[in-house]
Structure 1
């Protein structure tokens, strides 16, 4: 996946060195409605996508609303990649052209697709724009939605392989911080998912060969996607700009329904992500230790602490007995994915690369709780591989029925390999979880260390399993970088 990211980065560097970037082309589409409040949409295209590829999208929006919607399709960016300087120029040109064509309201809305949204959001914060719509794009990770100075609609595609659904889940999470954020988010900062659509369907026509391998195959048609885009644009624009209270009420209901339907998709991702870590403990590690308790989970009380190295390297799980039960204190190390806003189209995985767990072995629990003569636990020895299997089960269970079906019938499967054993902590600690891809799918092999008391495992995160099931498994292997 590094090739397009690398090329994008190099091109941006070149753009900053160029001075002859004053030739933005603007195409104006006049409103098709003669009544209603005026709104002007200014499209900033995604990477390597031309202005004309948004005309069908714009027409679908105009047809879906009773507002007078003007549209400015901007293009001819250097290397077909928007930059901050050119976005500023493009918006200024579009507003000038709107005024020349007869638009009088001043209700200007920036519409950024993918890469274009990355630069448009920075410009929009202090500009003449009254609202922002991001298609297959997001605000920066550190930007709090409720603090953004103008209304913003984040419109996502379920099968977007560039700005993946797991990136959009982070935006949804910003609305769950408190009730006020959540309910205001219904109309001021909604995050809405278009089921079955992909990144390319925010426009039309062929997507560049540099990006096409990374997008996923849509399960709806372009026309279906455009109708949904038009529907959600209409609701957001009506709530934001209409002077008709009855239409605003209808639009709020439309946004509420769309948002709450999207929540049904987003929340399971967030729940599984939070299994990995809440920043202080790893519930996934606690579940793993409970799983290792076998027949005696009701007699084992598990806690967890997340540590960084060198503390993790030098810490062992601890045990104590109280009233016939075992208290187990486990430790975990989370290898978080590298996350950056440098390239807004997030082609790299959002989930942790691996989770390192230091657990108490099943046999040690058996000896403490069952006694030497009870063989119930001995018949099913645990492996780190069994935890990877559990992670996959959790991921499949949390995914939608449609996503499970796609994975099982079209996706490259997760293949769980036998554990690779290490004889000492000094050998186990530096050995990463082994993951590699081929045409069969994603192979996962845990690194394990087993002693008379302890069982150390480097395992797959349930969230990584869920991300693979819903996104990466749907790409042909030959396109992996």
Structure 2
């Protein structure tokens, strides 16, 4: 999707197998506190970002905490792009230099921004020197439960991060809520926190490279405000993990609890809208679409759904049956989703399905089955697949926060709904994809439809795709020059 992401993927194997050079160096920032529990932060920069751009971030952390915080800024990676082998050397060099400068504790914390964070994920498997991680605009593996990560990890997200999008962070939030073994331990050991109005660049300072800058979204808060929030959450996490002062720990626990409650309001709508598309067995969005198509007969039908793969979806037709006077409608759906890599930790791609294919019973078939062909009562006109896309958009707008709606309506490019493209037979409808294309005007969506007296087949936009567009992609400048 993005040019610099394509470059990352192309160079990934090279980065993994670089032998490492002795060029990686460390700049030590000494603590501003004379006393307190010592913690050493070892910062791995994001792609193409110089270590000096993290000085203000480091100072904000030192100011925000009563801990005695040392910071090691790692510099001079090959091609200005961190890689695993050089990162390992950088951590060992930083520990050596921190001790030489006067740090006496063993509380070393890896801090990674973006690509640097993904490189750091290897270290706990390689060595036990790091006692915790802080990931700024990056995440652990999507298939690894947070509770299974070997050391404490803070996942710190920016709401308007165009590189590691907020929808990817929502996956980590969901992992946190699924820690049924000990939820509160997870809340303090592996917190997932977002910074309102901030973007990817603000984890550092100054103007970033054009490719990264064009992928990112425009921040709604200042760099100083973002650094202050970063400092606050670093302090809470580091204090809970390393402080020996009970009063400080109690206050930090409260801060992490408050941060989680705030994050619930942000992340839970993402999970709820995503789950409308599918829970793995059925598509609630397809069930709602069938009920919507039933219109005035909606209270007389009960709808079920099965998610199928081809060739079963291709051959299966929706059906009507009766239980006493109740109509039972069985629908099917096919979910088209992009594969999510668990090896290449790049998170710029959308989390939502590419499209949802629905096989529904037509309004005419429902009417005939319920009231008979000779009934003269008023029958409304059937809906279109386009109307389902409109419903998905309205639903996504309603669930989005007030701030997100205002950003979309004032700054974003709109979703433009085009009239349905009709097909005359299943064999023509099935292989044709939902038409979505982006231009300066916005995101155009055209459904592929097949309508008979019995069936109404639709290829439509998922509510989560509309939700992602509203909250993330509509805000990105067009065209992207990556």
Give the corresponding residue for 2:351. Answer: 350
Give the corresponding residue for 2:6. Answer: 6
Q: 1:179 to 1:50 in 2, by over 3 A?
A: same
Q: 1:375 to 1:215 in 2, by over 3 A?
A: farther
Q: CA deviation at 1:15?
A: 3.5
Give the corresponding residue for 1:152. Answer: 153
Tell me, in whole angstroms, the C-alpha distance in 2 between the residues paired with 1:166 and 1:397: 17
* Correspondence 1:31 to 2:41: no
Q: 1:239 to 1:376 in 2, by over 3 A?
A: farther
Give the corresponding residue for 2:86. Answer: 86
Equivalent position SS for 2:210: coil
Give the corresponding residue for 1:48. Answer: 48
CA deviation string 1:130-152 (max 9, x = no partner): 10100000001111101111111
Q: CA deviation at 1:376?
A: 3.7
Tell me, in whole angstroms, the C-alpha distance in 2 between the residues paired with 1:112 and 1:9: 19
Give the corresponding residue for 2:335. Answer: 334
Tell me, in whole angstroms, the C-alpha distance in 1 between the residues paired with 2:270 and 2:255: 24
Q: CA deviation at 1:375?
A: 4.6
Give the corresponding residue for 2:426. Answer: 425
Which sits farther off after the overlay, 6-15 or 144-153? 6-15
Q: CA deviation at 1:23?
A: 1.2
Give the corresponding residue for 1:105. Answer: 105
Tell me, in whole angstroms, the C-alpha distance in 1 between the residues paired with 2:285 and 2:368: 24
Tell me, in whole angstroms, the C-alpha distance in 2 between the residues paired with 1:110 and 1:374: 73
* Correspondence 1:76 to 2:85: no
Q: CA RMSD in A?
A: 1.3
Give the corresponding residue for 2:266. Answer: 265
TM-score, normalising length from structure 1?
A: 0.97
Give the corresponding residue for 1:200. Answer: 201
Q: CA deviation at 1:59?
A: 0.2
Which sits farther off after the overlay, 464-473 or 10-19? 10-19
Tell me, in whole angstroms, the C-alpha distance in 2 between the residues paired with 1:456 and 1:162: 36
TM-score, normalising length from structure 2?
A: 0.97
Q: 1:356 to 1:18 in 2, by over 3 A?
A: same
Q: CA deviation at 1:179?
A: 3.9
Q: 1:102 to 1:178 in 2, by over 3 A?
A: closer
CA deviation string 1:446-481 (max 9, x = no partner): 000011111000000100000000000001221166
Tell me, in whole angstroms, the C-alpha distance in 2 between the residues paired with 1:233 and 1:440: 40
Tell me, in whole angstroms, the C-alpha distance in 2 between the residues paired with 1:148 and 1:14: 26
Equivalent position SS for 1:478: coil
Give the corresponding residue for 2:464. Answer: 463
Give yes or no for contact 1:41–1:108 (8 Å, CA) kept in 2. yes
* Correspondence 1:220 to 2:232: no
Give the corresponding residue for 1:445. Answer: 446
Tell me, in whole angstroms, the C-alpha distance in 2 between the residues paired with 1:145 and 1:392: 32
* Correspondence 1:177 to 2:178: yes
Tell me, in whole angstroms, the C-alpha distance in 2 between the residues paired with 1:410 and 1:419: 28
Give the corresponding residue for 2:122. Answer: 122
Give yes or no for contact 2:19–2:85 (8 Å, CA) kept in 1. no
Give yes or no for contact 1:333–1:356 (8 Å, CA) kept in 2. yes
Give yes or no for contact 1:114–1:344 (8 Å, CA) kept in 2. no
Equivalent position SS for 2:237: helix
Q: CA deviation at 1:32?
A: 0.2
CA deviation string 1:315-354 (max 9, x = no partner): 1111101222210111100001231245434111111000
Tell me, in whole angstroms, the C-alpha distance in 1 between the residues paired with 2:87 and 2:186: 27
Give yes or no for contact 1:11–1:79 (8 Å, CA) kept in 2. no
Give yes or no for contact 1:404–1:469 (8 Å, CA) kept in 2. yes
Give yes or no for contact 2:4–2:212 (8 Å, CA) kept in 1. yes
Give yes or no for contact 2:290–2:360 (8 Å, CA) kept in 1. yes
Tell me, in whole angstroms, the C-alpha distance in 1 between the residues paired with 2:89 and 2:216: 29
Equivalent position SS for 1:289: helix
Equivalent position SS for 2:121: helix
Q: Which runs of structure 1 show a deviation greater than 6 angstroms over 4 or more consecutive aligned residues?
A: none
Count of aligned pairs: 480
Tell me, in whole angstroms, the C-alpha distance in 1 between the residues paired with 2:94 and 2:287: 56
Q: 1:199 to 1:406 in 2, by over 3 A?
A: same
Q: CA deviation at 1:7?
A: 1.4
Give yes or no for contact 2:2–2:215 (8 Å, CA) kept in 1. no
CA deviation string 1:107-133 (max 9, x = no partner): 000001100111101212443111010
Give yes or no for contact 1:186–1:252 (8 Å, CA) kept in 2. no
